[in-house]
Structure 1
Amino acid sequence: MCCTDMALAYVEAHAAWSEANTKPSLARDYATFLSRAADGTARAAFAVEGVRCAGCMNAIERGLADLPGIGGARLNFSDRRLTVTWKPEAEADIGAVLAALDALGFKAQPFAPGRLSDAEAAESQRLIRALAVAGFASMNVMLLAISVWAGNVSDMTPENRDLFHWIQAVIALPAAAYAGRPFYEGAFRGLRAGRVTMDFPITLGVVLTLVMSVVESLSGAAHAYFDGAVMLLFFLLIGRVLDQTMRRRTRAFAENLAALRSESATLVDAAGTLRDVPAAELRAGARILVRPGERVPADGVVEHGASDLDQSLVTGETAAVTVRGGDRVFAGALNGNGALTVRVTAAAGASLLDEVEGLMQRALEARSRALVLADTATRLYVPLVHTAAALTLAGWLAAGAGWHAALLDAVAVLIVTCPCALGLAIPAVQVVAAGALFREGVLLNDGTALERFAEIDTVVFDKTGTLTLPLPTLAEGPPDDGALMQAARLALSSRHPMAAALAPAASGADPFPGAQEAAGLGVRAHIDGVELRLGSARFCEAEAQAEAALAANPDASVICFRAGNDTPVAFVVRQALRPDAVEVVASLRQAGRRVMILSGDRPSAVEAVARRLGVTEWEAGLTPPDKIGRIEALQREGRRVLMVGDGLNDAPALAAAHASLSPVTASHVSQAAADALFLGRDLAPVLAVLAAGRRARRLMVQNLWFSAAYNVVAVPLAAAGLLTPLIAALAMSGSSLVVTLNALRARAMTPCVLPGAADVSTGPNLVPQRVGGGT
């Protein structure tokens, strides 16, 4: 057998093996990702590659909607996650969806956060390499082009000019072939699916320019246009790299929310036997054991046992909640110190954690469907460019010009209208504004949020950890300073936030030697034969003292201390307001914005904070669905809502709001859902993002208007044959430079706090009113 036959045999065998092994693997993948609700509706999530613009999103959703049995298809443009649902009576056909996506020119695979992260990293590296190649080629080709320009008006011989043209070709052709792949592939996928995307005019302009340059070099013409092609790719790749860099919010959301799930559960059967099962197999009515340190795998009711749980998913509070028989627990809650036997009330896929994920995903999908400025401009751009170039070619041919002259003018139109300025108009402002916000202590997660920050007329705050500092402080010490000192030294050995409120009272003293922390309860130490305890009321046997302290301070929390058989002490701790919270809220109200507080905390605690800030609209005791419902109700009224929150229970509301902001101390899921994060103890960054949004949007609009005006002037000149491709390339580069210089004006930030904000009286007798009953 010859080498060729052996190679063909190997290829055929490998193809057969791949086909045989890929299909079962695909089936296994989607067996995990395909879920079915109680009403029989099936749902699957796909990660789709090649989505570039709103047109791609609409093409996918319309194309899949025509498939038999499909109930709906929604694509989240931010993380390229496609959610497909089938009607209850229909069979979930994964293969039909994949085939339809392939016919539309898109590849898909099961949506998994880890895979998406790897794919994004690979795509970023690919774009950066392409940008580096285009930049290197642009510099060298431009140096040679400048020599030719100078030589054409001096004494350069035709032989030397032709040599310089061919050296440019040697550099430009392979560089353009490599650096332009992201655009060529997008254009090809669109054409294969019968669509014309934004990548098509780019590809057409680059290819025609290179072909024309080769033809001109072969004929010994005075001009070649290799520099225009590679410079076009360089500028466009800058915009694409910037866009890729800014898009990371929802990928992090998916990874962090997945971390809250328990993959397995300990099932207790009728005979009391324990066995581990996948959490996805749990059904309503099953009995499960939740050991200390484990996360609750499903919603349920406690049958036996008592423990302290971190249920911040529901309440937004970091303080542990004591649960006993008959109390409800929720999936994702972290069990503290005791074993719990729980009767499952919600099957896998129907827990509160699943509801939070679903609410958040739907909110992100809805937000991604809003067209931003660049999408609006892009929808108008493609047909206008094609029409202008085609009319130029047809017009000159009809006027009797030859193919060479007509094509040269048509290429000039394509080059002069190539969307460098349009491609940089928005990303350049986003990057400059992001740098300015960083200097103000704000980290921008999503560049498109700047446009939304500019439209805000209502600001909704969470209370705990947002209006207040994340760590509590000691409100008042007991009469016995000795007890406070002992409790503070014990607190130095604890990692609990409540203990951190006492630690400063240690005044430099060392922790007690041998102190041990009891998970979820507190910390203990034996000193001179006396046991010292600091922690929960139950741990210190101080229930009566704790109840009395809370009765006198309903907006506070307590941490208890006991020394041997002495009377226990309950320390009152509060979460202090952020230092500038009063001034910031006053500035927002002075600017005409509506301010509200939506919290999962107790009504008494929320009312106390609202009173101190002068906020007249507040609600307490809200669950994640309640919060997102309030946000959506405000938006139905026509309000543009900025949500500022930090808890896990705030994540869906952050995603549903028109724009969102979180402190850097927020939960990981809230950080990922927010458009921006702010550092430090101050609340002034709320004002900074609103000011930066207004300025950035104004500059974006200016850039787009300049791009439009440039095309209005340049296209008729190119179509009339007054611009050669060389002059068109220079004009295109000049327009990009103007747009970039205008974007640099976003570095100028207005002051965070409005003048006179501190003088606005909140009114000591202003009584905040509750705007809803909560839950």
Structure 2
Amino acid sequence: MVANPALLAATHEDDARSSLELPIEGMSCASCVGRIEQAIGKLPGVEDVSVNLATERARIAFASGQVVPEAVVNAVRDAGYTPVFGSVDLLIDGMTCASCVGRVERALTAVPGVVEASVNLATESAQVKTVGAITPETLIAAAEKAGYGARIRPDSIQGTEPEETRRSATARREQAHVVAAALLSFPLILPMLLAPFGTTIMLPGWAQLLLATPIQFWLGARFYRAGWKALRARTGNMDLLVALGTSAAYGLSLYQLLAAPAHPTHYYFEASAVVITLVLLGKWLEGRAKRQTGAAIRALMALRPERARLVSSPGKERDVPVEAVQIGDIVRVRPGERVPVDGRLVQGETAVDESMVTGESMPVAKAEGDQLTGGSINGDGSVLVETTAVGAETVLARIVRLVESAQGAKAPIQRLVDRVSAVSVPVVLAIAMLTLVGWLLAGASVEAAILNAVAVMVIACPCALGLATPTAIMAGTGVAARAGVLIKDAEALETAHRIKTVVFDKTGTLTQGKPSLVAAAGVEGIAEQELLERAAALQTGSEHPLARAVLAAGENVGIAVPRARSIRALPGRGVSATVGDESLLLGSGRLMKEEDIDTGSLRARAEKLEGDGRTISWIAEIEPRRRLLGLLAFGDEVKPGAITAVGALHERGIRTVMLTGDNQGSAAAAAAILGIDEVVANVLPEGKAEAVTRLARTNAPVAMVGDGINDAPALAAADIGIAMATGTDVALHAAGITLMRGDPRLVTDAIDISRRTYAKIRQGLFWAFIYNVVGIPLAALGLLSPVIAGGAMALSSVSVVTNALLLRRWRPTASERNVQ
């Protein structure tokens, strides 16, 4: 999958001079231009730099070979701006262990213009960030030169079927190889199995050779091919260890057979054959387990119907492939069918099961004008839906891409593991050589020395180290997706388990976000209906939740709304307008104070209402005379799961903060009901990010939970942003975690999933290291035969992956309660 392939352009003006064009975000004025030009201009080799504020691009000319794009990117970042990258997603074939991961990453990052390459062993994929005119073919060629196959990853739902078919074919081939190896090696190991029962049999040496040779050079050919590629790249991997170890055992046996054919002795063909069989079995089981970790994505993909019922004209319908449906087309969805596209319900009523998309187990009622999500199941109503999104732009496709991205990303802890794994093979080979020499110096036979060295090479398991983290992340993100929690990347997953403070926006996050007018009080001489008429006039055309509440209240009592002129929104404060011959204000206490309006006559009433958790808006007249007219009190019901969510966070030792634009009185009352630890009130929209940053200085890491466009800067300012999917796309893009339904308890679920996932990562890494730390010395001391060592090596990978898979059986608290 290629994203933004033409974001940057690099050209070679001549042999001695090159140029690079880099898009940059965050510039707002000429001083930004100067700052960036100065930062890039300091780099050695830069001859000229020109930044264009209008196009938000920087053009850099430099001496060829003097400047790498990564240095330019870092300079822009250090100056406080955001460089824009291109991205390419590749599928990588032929990786077998963590050392392969490092080799592919080094090959990709060596390509000029590659800023970062993240290779994932579990998903067999690479995510590459690029600057410059880099084509996918260039990256594929780099991977192939390193000895691995590579191809562009197909785009989400549309291109996955061929890939699944290929993987299924590979799995069947591996299974056939395991069966063939087992059948051929069983006669070789039979004498060992019968020996404890007093039965002694020995196959002739030539028969052992005939059985072992196909295993060694046909079924084991993959180890030779991959090991040779590693040697050509001047590095090592698991395949090289297996190839060297089994070749040593096979070669020793062949030498004994050829050197003394007339004097039968004990051969070691069974060691090489059984080791290869066990490793093949381990790789097959490992692959099977890895495919299970991707079950969440496959389940999401399966939600997309293959066909849709297109309404071409009234009374005329035809069955078409879902790819043929265009935005604006009308489709009919019958009872029990899956909704084929994202769309707006234009005829009929129904209830829709959105559980596989949002985790909400109860059907959601839908009426005309409501949005339907592709992949959800229609209830008992036959409805017409106008298509609003198709293909890659549907909610389902975006969810799949997000989960794929998270599963393919590399956690920070994995980078340390990869560095350790990169040196593991040379270290193991050195230990094997020392073992061989040591036993020979100690007077052991050549056979014993070689077999002990073989055991050392065979038991080493760098593949287990490489699988511990990515398989746990795949399982964890899969559990999260089923629970209605979408995790953007591995870094967000890593941060979530360390969260110490959760900051909630109040409206729409802890409350329903649908306030209603619960009280209105005018000053002496102003009737309630008169007050409501003025308020409704001021709020005409506004989409603010409080405005909708005022208009709904006016409609309920049947008032005639006067016409307002010169309506002006005052962000974070209120609204002003002219109604008749009066200039009016409606807004917060802050606005009244700024306009020098005395609210003392209704202060006692306001304080009582605020004590009950109500939000107060004041109405005042500016002209012809400056005076207070009255107040409106709004109530917004607390979400059913909000109190439970706050309590659950406290149980986990996490501090809670509520961030709101409401006044201190009503905010404190709401916080008392919810059990919130701290309230930050009277915060303007533009001040939310600053408030989060301030909290992070003393209570980091901090998570910010919000759902609206005003929350987006605060979400970005937090260590991790958590967005409700009921909010805007802006908020979702700024968030590291997205909750697919407006249930605050999912915040706890997200943290629990992160904690469980990292517990599995720690367990996997522990066992992977233990296998090596304990197994290699035992093998070097001659306490493990090559057969036992091979079994232990195969078991290490399988056990690490299986342990990660156990996470799939666990269900987070809110999800479990939702099902019940």
- Does residue 1:595 correspond to 2:679, yes or no? no
Partner of 2:280: 230
Any residues of structure 2 matched to 1:255-404 within 5 Å, and which?
371-372=412-413, 374-397=414-437, 399-400=439-440
Q: Secondary structure at the match of 2:237?
A: helix
- Does residue 1:621 correspond to 2:669, yes or no? no
Q: Structure 2: how far apart are the matches of 1:651 and 1:139?
A: 56
1:417 to 1:118, Cα distance in 2 relative to 1, 3 A: farther
Q: Structure 1: how far apart are the matches of 2:147 and 2:692?
A: 35
Partner of 2:639: 578
Any residues of structure 2 matched to 1:238-253 within 5 Å, and which?
none
Partner of 2:86: 45
Q: Contact 2:411 / 2:469 at 8 angstroms: preserved in 1?
A: no
Q: Contact 2:468 / 2:800 at 8 angstroms: preserved in 1?
A: yes
Q: Contact 2:279 / 2:791 at 8 angstroms: preserved in 1?
A: no
Q: Contact 1:600 / 1:620 at 8 angstroms: preserved in 2?
A: yes
Q: Contact 2:185 / 2:211 at 8 angstroms: preserved in 1?
A: no
Deviations 1:660-688 (A, max 9, x none): 43334344565566554445553222223
AA of the residue aligned to 1:389 = L
Q: Secondary structure at the match of 1:616?
A: strand
Q: Contact 1:148 / 1:164 at 8 angstroms: preserved in 2?
A: yes
Q: Secondary structure at the match of 1:642?
A: strand
1:63 to 1:243, Cα distance in 2 relative to 1, 3 A: farther
AA of the residue aligned to 1:577 = V
Pairwise CA distance, 1:423? 4.2
Q: Structure 1: how far apart are the matches of 2:561 and 2:115?
A: 54
Residue among 722, 730, 754 paired with 1:693 = 754
Partner of 2:244: 208
Deviations 1:332-382 (A, max 9, x none): xxxxxxxxxxxxxxxxxxxxxxxxxxxxx9xx99x988722x433332234
Pairwise CA distance, 1:715? 0.6
Q: Contact 1:130 / 1:237 at 8 angstroms: preserved in 2?
A: no
Residue among 707, 730, 733 paired with 2:791 = 730
- Does residue 1:422 correspond to 2:465, yes or no? yes
Q: Structure 2: how far apart are the matches of 1:404 and 1:534?
A: 100
Deviations 1:52-90 (A, max 9, x none): 9895798589858xx8xx9x94567799665567xxxxx
Q: Structure 1: how far apart are the matches of 2:767 and 2:145?
A: 34
Q: Contact 2:663 / 2:681 at 8 angstroms: preserved in 1?
A: no
- Does residue 1:717 correspond to 2:753, yes or no? no
Q: Secondary structure at the match of 1:577?
A: coil
Deviations 1:91-137 (A, max 9, x none): x7869x969994996899xx999869989987777556544533453
Any residues of structure 2 matched to 1:450-461 within 5 Å, and which?
450-461=493-504
Does 206-215 or 712-721 show the bigger shift?
Answer: 206-215
Q: Structure 2: how far apart are the matches of 1:666 and 1:165?
A: 69
Pairwise CA distance, 1:391? 2.6
- Does residue 1:469 correspond to 2:512, yes or no? yes
Any residues of structure 2 matched to 1:147-162 within 5 Å, and which?
148-154=188-194
Q: Structure 2: how far apart are the matches of 1:99 and 1:699?
A: 33
Q: Contact 1:648 / 1:669 at 8 angstroms: preserved in 2?
A: yes
Partner of 1:275: none
1:677 to 1:450, Cα distance in 2 relative to 1, 3 A: same
Q: Contact 2:105 / 2:119 at 8 angstroms: preserved in 1?
A: no
Q: Contact 2:510 / 2:642 at 8 angstroms: preserved in 1?
A: yes
Q: Secondary structure at the match of 1:459?
A: strand
Partner of 1:7: none
Pairwise CA distance, 1:455? 1.4
Any residues of structure 2 matched to 1:629-708 within 5 Å, and which?
637=698, 639-647=700-708, 650=711, 654=715, 657-668=718-729, 670-671=731-732, 674=735, 676-678=737-739, 680-708=741-769
AA of the residue aligned to 1:646 = D
AA of the residue aligned to 1:456 = I
Deviations 1:583-628 (A, max 9, x none): 42244346543333457999999788657544323573345xx766
Partner of 1:409: 452
Identity %, equivalent residues = 25
Pairwise CA distance, 1:396? 1.3
Q: Contact 1:646 / 1:667 at 8 angstroms: preserved in 2?
A: yes
Give the structure with the larger strand fraction: 2
Q: Contact 2:469 / 2:761 at 8 angstroms: preserved in 1?
A: yes
Q: Structure 1: how far apart are the matches of 2:251 and 2:468?
A: 33
Pairwise CA distance, 1:701? 2.4
Pairwise CA distance, 1:457? 0.6
Q: Structure 2: how far apart are the matches of 1:84 and 1:447?
A: 20
Q: Secondary structure at the match of 2:656?
A: strand
Q: Structure 2: how far apart are the matches of 1:31 and 1:116?
A: 29
Pairwise CA distance, 1:727? 0.9
Q: Structure 1: how far apart are the matches of 2:618 and 2:209?
A: 78
Q: Structure 1: how far apart are the matches of 2:439 and 2:175?
A: 40
Partner of 2:303: none
Which stretches in structure 2 are left out of the alignment for 5+ residues?
Answer: 12-19, 25-32, 34-49, 52-57, 60-83, 258-266, 299-401, 522-542, 568-576, 589-605, 607-613, 620-630, 816-820
Q: Structure 1: how far apart are the matches of 2:680 and 2:584?
A: 29
Pairwise CA distance, 1:643? 3.0
Deviations 1:289-327 (A, max 9, x none): xxxxxxxxxxxxxxxxxxxxxxxxxxxxxxxxxxxxxxx
Which stretches in structure 1 are left out of the alignment for 5+ residues?
Answer: 1-24, 86-91, 249-360, 480-495, 507-522, 524-530, 559-569, 754-775
Q: Structure 2: how far apart are the matches of 1:534 and 1:112?
A: 60
Q: Secondary structure at the match of 2:86?
A: strand
Q: Contact 2:501 / 2:702 at 8 angstroms: preserved in 1?
A: yes
Q: Contact 2:726 / 2:742 at 8 angstroms: preserved in 1?
A: no
Deviations 1:726-760 (A, max 9, x none): 2112223444455466556655668669xxxxxxx
Partner of 1:491: none
1:370 to 1:206, Cα distance in 2 relative to 1, 3 A: same
1:127 to 1:497, Cα distance in 2 relative to 1, 3 A: farther
1:121 to 1:413, Cα distance in 2 relative to 1, 3 A: farther
AA of the residue aligned to 1:639 = A
After TM superposition, the score normalised by the length of structure 2 is 0.49
Pairwise CA distance, 1:723? 2.3
1:599 to 1:82, Cα distance in 2 relative to 1, 3 A: farther
Partner of 2:351: none
Note the aligned Cα RMSD (angstroms): 6.4
Q: Contact 1:717 / 1:723 at 8 angstroms: preserved in 2?
A: yes
Q: Structure 2: how far apart are the matches of 1:99 and 1:114?
A: 16
Q: Contact 1:389 / 1:411 at 8 angstroms: preserved in 2?
A: no
Does 431-440 or 712-721 show the bigger shift?
Answer: 431-440
Deviations 1:553-588 (A, max 9, x none): 866899xxxxxxxxxxx9998754321323422443
Q: Contact 2:294 / 2:474 at 8 angstroms: preserved in 1?
A: no
Pairwise CA distance, 1:719? 1.9
1:368 to 1:742, Cα distance in 2 relative to 1, 3 A: closer
1:534 to 1:604, Cα distance in 2 relative to 1, 3 A: farther
Q: Structure 2: how far apart are the matches of 1:123 and 1:601?
A: 53
Q: Contact 1:393 / 1:406 at 8 angstroms: preserved in 2?
A: no
Q: Secondary structure at the match of 2:241?
A: helix
Q: Structure 2: how far apart are the matches of 1:394 and 1:426?
A: 31
Residue among 164, 170, 178 paired with 1:138 = 178
